[in-house]
Amino acid sequence: MSFSEQYRSKRITATEAARMVKSGDWIEYGFCLAAPRAFDAALAERGDELSNAHIRTGVTVYPSLAFEADTTGGRFTWNSWHFTGLDRRYAAQGAAYYIPMRFAELPRYVLENQPTDVFVTQAAPMDRHGFFNFGISNSHHYGVIARAKKVIIEVNERFPRVHGGHGHGIHIDQVDHIIEGDNLPLAELPPASISDVDRAIAAQVLAKMTDGDCVQLGIGGMPNALGQMIAQSDLKDLGGHTEMIADSFVDMFQAGRMNGSRKALDRGRIAFTFALGTQKLYDFIDENPFVASYPVDYTNSTEVAGTIDNLVTINNAVEVDLFGQVCAESSGPRQISGTGGQLDFVLAGYRSKGGRSFICLSSTYRDKAGNIKSRILPTITPGGIITDTRSTTMYVVTEYGMFNCKGQTAWQRAEGLIGIAHPQFREELIAQAEAMGIWRRSNKR
Ligand SMILES: CC(=O)SCCNC(=O)CCNC(=O)[C@H](O)C(C)(C)COP(=O)(O)OP(=O)(O)OC[C@H]1O[C@@H](n2cnc3c(N)ncnc32)[C@H](O)[C@@H]1OP(=O)(O)O
Ligand SMILES: CCCC(=O)O
């Protein structure tokens, strides 16, 4: 059978696809931008026919009509590998749960630990070789496809076709059913504006960077702002090896800062596993040989990323404590985001020859009541999740300075980290450090 004959024989409607779901099933949605739209809407129409089914996804960017139809969990539980604002809202409403994940390991989880009944992902239309491309959201898809009982592709003509690497698409032979979706626009996440705090932090990180460094930027406003500042610097020959590609990578390329010419691995290309930004980014990665989409167990593997010389990893955090523990994903036990690839890149940045890992955070945070709180704390807020253990943390940077935790004693860490806290909180932090027995008489106040 030709590819087009196979296509026709596998094509069904979203309603027909949704009817294949049974109560109790585990349904995995494509990661981030690849989550299905028409299928999700059709699943919502199943109403009370379904009970105790489970939707699994990550970095949710589209509201789920299926879950929102009944947030009590009677029809579906919502399970996310990485929380966004939407996941936080779902969790606050009821049956939505975080799935602890170190991102580099995710393909193995779905191969070994989490069965999948139905996998549905958006992808670009089939090409003349019979491939559907989801390189914009490569992640762990190859693993889910290998184990899912049913694989359904929802075609979206707006999807870019992204070069790999590998794992960036699926051949029609492996597809059970095809839905032609509604070709809805991809979600956009515009970069946050650059604040004075971002500028002060970027200035310190930039002072530690040299020509030819290979850059990873984490999720969140601050890493993207730093990327924009790197684009405005005079650095040259930078490389990109990251998990998430965001608009600032386009800025770094277009400003002539990034060409990947000094990378030994994927020379002349930015390696990444998923994209999230604006249409500017989606147009940039479309058919562009400068980018290479890979599964996350390649991009985030410390054995892979750690072999890249001069790897500079820049990630954000919610809190850092005086021991050097980093919480980047929760506020007490309330899940904000996830471990994602942060620990992967903190480890890889240190392993890399000439590498550096930076945890960048504003020294303070304004809570919902408008109170200013220190992000540098005696201990992580009770119930808070440790994303990076103290022995893995390297540089911590605030607008007040930078401290390298590696090799430092408990009292040196207390002194160094209090030294980069907001001045308003330093006396209180010293008193707490004394009470915890990690403040030495000779420490500078
Ligand atoms: C992607 C790669 O290449 S790999 C590695 C990257 N991955 C990671 O670093 C994983 C963990 N990090 C993250 O998820 C992000 O960087 C974050 C969460 C630390 C920051 O992300 P941002 O989108 O910039 O966060 P933002 O400032 O908008 O805050 C998000 C939420 O956290 C809350 N929050 C932020 N800081 C605090 C704090 N100190 N205490 C309590 N809540 C806080 C905010 O109020 C907001 O909640 P709401 O939207 O429900 O009101
Ligand atoms: C899992 C995707 C985002 C991250 O690594 O934080």
Q: Nearest-CA neighbor of 153 among 162, 145, 161?
A: 145
CATH topology match: 3-180 vs 196-435: yes
Q: Please tell me the predicted confidence (pLDDT) of residue 445.
A: 82
Read off the pLDDT of each residue in 313-324 and give the average, rounded to a whole number. Answer: 97
So what's the pLDDT on residue 219? Answer: 87
Evaluate whether 169 touches 135 at the Cβ level (below 8 Å). yes
Mutate to test the pocket of ligand 1, among 316, 327, 334 (most ligand atoms within 8 A of CB): 316
Residue 178 CB less than 6 A away from ligand 2: no
Q: Can you read off the two tokens belonging to residue 423?
A: 């001045």
What's residue 367's pLDDT?
Answer: 94
Nearest protein Cα to ligand 2, atom 2: 340
Per-residue pLDDT of 53-95, as tens digits, reads: 999 999 999 999 999 999 999 999 999 999 999 999 999 998 9
Q: What pLDDT does residue 216 have?
A: 97
- Cα–Cα dist 141/81, whole Å: 13
* Three-state SS letters, 380-392: CCCCCCCCECCCC
Measured by CA distance, the residue closest to atom 8 of ligand 1 is 342
The candidate with the shortest Cα–Cα distance to 34, out of 124, 100, 143, 166, is 124
Atom of ligand 2 at shortest distance to CA of 339? 6
- Segment 192-222, tens digit of pLDDT: 889 999 999 999 999 999 999 999 999 888 8
Give yes or no for a contact between 401 and 201, defined as CB atoms under 8 angstroms apart. Answer: no
Whether ligand 1 lies within 6 angstroms of the CB of 316 is answered as yes
Amino acid 197: pLDDT: 95
Class at the top of the CATH hierarchy for domain 196-435:
alpha beta
Of 124, 70, 143, nearest to 296 (Cα)? 143
Answer left, alpha or beta for residue 226, where phi above 0 means left and psi between -120 and 50 means alpha: alpha
**pLDDT recorded at residue 402:** 98
Q: Which residues contact 152 (CB under 8 A, 6 or more apart)?
A: 17, 36, 39, 118, 119, 120, 121, 175, 176, 177, 178, 179
The answer to whether 203 touches 233, Cβ cutoff 8 Å, is no
In contact, 47 and 70? CB cutoff 8 Å: no
Instruction: Encode pLDDT of 274-307 as tens digits.
Output: 999 999 999 999 999 999 999 999 999 999 999 9
Nearest to 99 by CA among 380, 346, 337, 384: 337
| 221 CA closest ligand 1 atom index | 24
Closest residue CA from atom 19 of ligand 1: 317
* 63 CA from centroid of ligand 1 (Å): 19
Tell me, in angstroms, the distance from the centre of ligand 2 to residue 25's CA: 26
- Helices then strands, counting H and E runs in the chain, come out as 16, 27
Check if 240 has its Cβ closer than 6 Å to any atom of ligand 1. no
Q: What type of residue sits at position 342? A: Q
> In angstroms, rounded to a whole number, what is the distance separating the alpha carbons of residues 425 and 373?
9
Backbone angles phi, psi at 123, to 5 degrees: -160, 165
Among 56, 81, 83, 103, residue to substitute to test ligand 2 (most atoms within 8 Å of Cβ): 103
Mutate to test the pocket of ligand 2, among 84, 300, 337, 346 (most ligand atoms within 8 A of CB): 337
- Please, what is the Cα angle at 384 between 387 and 395, to 5 degrees? 40
Name the residue at shortest CA distance from atom 3 of ligand 2.
340
Q: Ligand 2 test: best mutation among 33, 57, 59, most atoms within 8 Å of CB?
A: 59
Alpha-carbon distance of 53 to 411, in angstroms, equals 51
Least distant ligand from the CA of 337? 1
Residue 443: pLDDT over 90:
no
For residues 34 and 172, what is the distance between their CA atoms, to the nearest angstrom?
17
The binding site consists of 218-222, 318, 341
Asked whether 376 and 366 are in contact (CB, 8 A), the reply is no
- Phi, then psi, of 347 in degrees rounded to 5: -70, -45
Q: Does any ligand 2 atom lie closer than 6 A to the CB of residue 31?
A: no
Q: How far is the CA of 152 from the centre of ligand 1 (A)?
A: 32
**Active-site amino acid positions:** 243
Q: What confidence score (pLDDT) does residue 171 get?
A: 98
Atom number of ligand 1 nearest to Cα 317: 19
- Mean pLDDT, residues 327-346: 98
**Which protein residue's CA is at the shortest distance from atom 4 of ligand 2?**
340
Percent over 90 (pLDDT), the chain: 94
* Pairwise CA distance, residues 168 & 296, whole Å: 11
Which ligand is located closest to the Cα atom of residue 387?
Answer: 1
- pLDDT tens, residue by residue, 104-118: 999 999 999 999 999
- Determine the pLDDT at residue 442: 84
If phi > 0 it is left, if psi is from -120 to 50 it is alpha, else beta; for residue 406 that is beta
If you measure from the C-alpha of residue 220 to the centroid of ligand 2, how many angstroms do you get, rounded to a whole number?
Answer: 9
CA–centroid distance, residue 106 to ligand 2 (Å)? 11
Residue numbers belonging to the annotated binding site for CoA: 218-222, 318, 341
Q: How far is CA 170 from CA 125, 143, 176, 214, 434, in A?
A: 11, 12, 11, 30, 58
In this structure, the number of other CB atoms found within 10 A of the CB of residue 92 comes to: 10
Residue 175 scores a pLDDT above 90: yes
CB neighbour class for 444 (10 Å; exposed up to 12, middle 13-18, buried from 19): exposed
And the tokens for 8? Answer: 């026709």
Bridge partners, residue 239, by sequence: 214
| Residue 112: partners with Cβ closer than 8 Å, 6 or more residues away | none
Question: What mean pLDDT, rounded, does the chain reach?
Answer: 97
Residue type, 414: A
> Residue 266's pLDDT is what?
97
Ligand 2 neighbourhood includes 140 CB (under 6 angstroms): no
- As a whole number of angstroms, the distance between CA 425 and CA 419 comes to 10
What mean pLDDT do residues 38-64 have? 96
Does 7 have pLDDT greater than 90? yes
Task: State whether the beta carbon of 388 lies less than 6 angstroms from ligand 1.
Answer: no
Measure 48 CA to ligand 2 centroid, in angstroms: 33
> CA distances (Å), 218 to each of 196, 227, 254, 317, in order?
20, 10, 20, 10
Strands 372-374 and 364-366, by their bridges, are antiparallel
**3-state secondary structure at position 151:** strand
For 196, residues 6+ apart whose C-beta sits below 8 A from its C-beta are 399
Q: Which ligand is nearest to the CA of 317?
A: 1
- pLDDT at residue number 377: 98
Q: What is the pLDDT of residue 441?
A: 83
Q: What is the pLDDT of residues 393-409, one digit of tens each?
A: 999 999 999 999 999 99
3-state secondary structure 289-331: CCEEECCHHHHCCHHHHCCCCCEEEEEECCEEECCCCEECCEE
Q: Which ligand lies nearest to the CA atom of residue 90 in the structure?
A: 1
CATH 3.90.420.10 applies to domain 3-180: no
Radius of gyration from C-alpha coordinates of the chain = 23
Q: How many CB atoms lie within 10 A of CB 442?
A: 7
Question: What is the pLDDT, as a whole number, of residue 221?
Answer: 83
- Kindly list the domain boundaries of the chain, sorted by start residue: 3-180, 196-435
